[in-house]
Amino acid sequence: MANIAYLYIDPLLESAAEAYNWQRKVDCVYQDFGQRTELQKLIADCQDNPPEYLLLRQIEELGDTVAEICDRLKLLESLGVDVIADLQNYQSSAWQKREITEIKADLSKLLQSVTKSKLINRLKQGHARNRLKTLPPPGKAPYGYRRGQDKYIIDKSTAPVVKDFFERFILFGSLRGAVRYLEKRYGKKIAPSTGKNWLTNPVYRGDLKYKK
């Protein structure tokens, strides 16, 4: 019986995978990049000739939702495939030998972990799509700007404050001096740490990926 592995790469979160160091012998690796066409082929092959075991990095790679993951895991295990997650405490054959109460408790923890991981990945994917489209990141616009439909727009009522802060800092090279100047001239109180964040913020540096 062949021993197989499956590797899923999300192009928004990972670059093309380097050779993964599997912890067990692998005769064949199915790998998907973005779509899961190879996973469908893997399942079809398992129905014709089930392998001794299937190695994964994590259970999450079986689908985009918890329901998809559970359905595919159940199908593979019903075919007699021993599913093993390298980076998680999961192996079908080992779990099936345990008490049902232990299985339920650990399975609940695993599903909670999978759900949390999927939520985090969706947030990361959203940020990655915004970067690819050169859209501003989610959240409140930096001081001196307001949100437009797909980019930041200069707020004419507050932008002069930021402009004077930078000019004062460039002229005298004093962060605290620039902070005090804003309070004296505009009545705008900011902490030195806020001023430092302004100085390092890519938006104020004119980084085009955020589109002024």
Q: Residues in the chain with pLDDT < 50?
A: 99-100, 103-104, 132, 207-212
Q: Are the CB atoms for 31 and 7 separated by under 8 Å?
A: yes
pLDDT at 191: 94
The residue to which tokens 């909670």 are assigned: 112
pLDDT per residue over 161-194, tens digit each? 999 999 999 999 999 999 999 999 999 999 999 9
Give 4-29 as a DSSP string. EEEEEE-TTT-PSPPPP--SS--SEE
pTM of the model as a whole: 0.51
- Are the C-beta atoms of residues 84 and 24 closer than 8 Å to each other? yes
- pLDDT tens for residues 50-73? 999 999 998 888 988 878 888 898
Sheet order of strands, 82-85 included: 28-33, 4-9, 53-56, 82-85, 90-91
pLDDT at 206: 60
Query: Residue 100 has what pLDDT?
Result: 47
